[in-house]
Amino acid sequence: MMDIDHVAALARLKLTDREKEIFSRQVVDIIRYIDKLNELDTSGIEPTAHVLPMKNIFREDEIRASLPRDSALRNAPERDGGFYRVPRIIE
């Protein structure tokens, strides 16, 4: 059985009881659908993390311009001088 509370907590979501019921069912459906892949016989296939035949994609260690601070902070919900301001993390 799917632990919807755990998944919601990991995603920082607060769900109502009704939402929990709906999402539990939907998530189980999704997993069941993806499980179809397990029907394929992959016994002779080597596991891979990537589908592209590429490796060693690098950049040289060269500095490129950073964003002006005001542009970077424009997306901040709140700012404090040059900092992002967020709810307190450590008690």
Partner 1 sequence: MQYETVIGLEIHAQLSTETKMFCGCPAKFGSEPNTQTCPVCTGMPGVLPVMNKKAVEYVVRTGLALNCNISSYSRFARKNYFYPDLPKGYQISQYELPLCEGGYVEINVDGGGKKIGLTRIHLEEDAGKNIHDGAGSESLVDLNRAGVPLMEIVTEPDIRSPREAVEFMKRLRAVVRCIGVCDGNMEQGSLRCDANISVRPAGQEEFGVKTEIKNMNSFRFVEKALDYEIRRQTAALREGKRIIQETRLWNADRGITESMRSKEEAHDYRYFPEPDLMPVELDGSWLETIRESIPELPHVRRARFISRYHLPEQDADILTADMATAEWFEEAVRLGGDPRVVSNWIRGELARLLNEDNRQMEDCLLKPEYLVDMLKLIDNGTISGKIAKTVFEEMYKTGSAAGDIVKEKGLVQISDEAGIGAVVDEILDEHPEEVKRYRAGEAKLMGFFVGQVMKKTRGKANPKIANELLRKKLG
Residues that bind partner 1 (CB under 8 A): 6, 9-10, 12, 49-50, 52, 54-67, 69, 72-73, 75, 80-91
Cα angle 81-85-90, degrees, rounded to a multiple of 5 = 130
Full DSSP string of 17-55? HHHHHHHHHHHHHHHHHHGGGGGS--TTS---S-SS---
Token pair in block for residue 4: 């919807």
Write down the residue that tokens 């490129």 correspond to: 64
What's the closest the beta carbon of residue 86 comes to partner 1, in angstroms? 4
- Closer residue to partner 1 in complex, CB, 18/58: 58
What's the closest the beta carbon of residue 34 comes to partner 1, in angstroms? 14
- Closer residue to partner 1 in complex, CB, 40/57: 57
- Closer residue to partner 1 in complex, CB, 17/91: 91
DSSP 3-state of 70:
helix
What's the closest the beta carbon of residue 45 comes to partner 1, in angstroms? 16
